Structure 1
Amino acid sequence: MSGKQFFERIKGPMNNYEDWYSYRNENGQVIITHTWSHVSPSLSANHGSKEYTVEEFQESEDVHSGAKIALDKALKAEK
């Protein structure tokens, strides 16, 4: 993970579904990175990351609503 982490979500019977959200300022534009590690009870794994602009992040239906709220708070705190 790069940048400032602003939200983390860990769930599952053995904390096996983990999501992290961070942001960084890149040439005046805020870039959000969602990184995940999901392991099912049958041990199949899904790991990866995706980057968004602020607008894409806020409009995405795949983003956890708590992460959207946390980003707003984090960006306001920097001003």
Structure 2
Amino acid sequence: IDLRGGGQIGVLQQRRIERAIGVIYRPESERLSHYFHARLPEQFDAIIHIDETQAVEPLERTSIWEEGELPETYPFKV
């Protein structure tokens, strides 16, 4: 959706709760520290919706790359 003007973005002008990217999941403070209010057209030029994703992996696997247990900060491990 192009947000750079036009009448089609009227409903998106409303202030909405947006989840921050890259936060460490902490259930006890989630509402206060993970979300903020935003108006999408003031923040972005466009919105793209992706139905399915997968975890990223390095292009070149080096000795640093190690599959194993997920860190404790992963939302489902807390």
TM-score grouping bracket, smaller chain normalisation: under 0.3
Rg larger for = 2
**Higher RCO (C-alpha 8 Å, min separation 6):** 2
Q: Which has the higher strand share?
A: 1
TM-score with structure 1 setting the length: 0.24
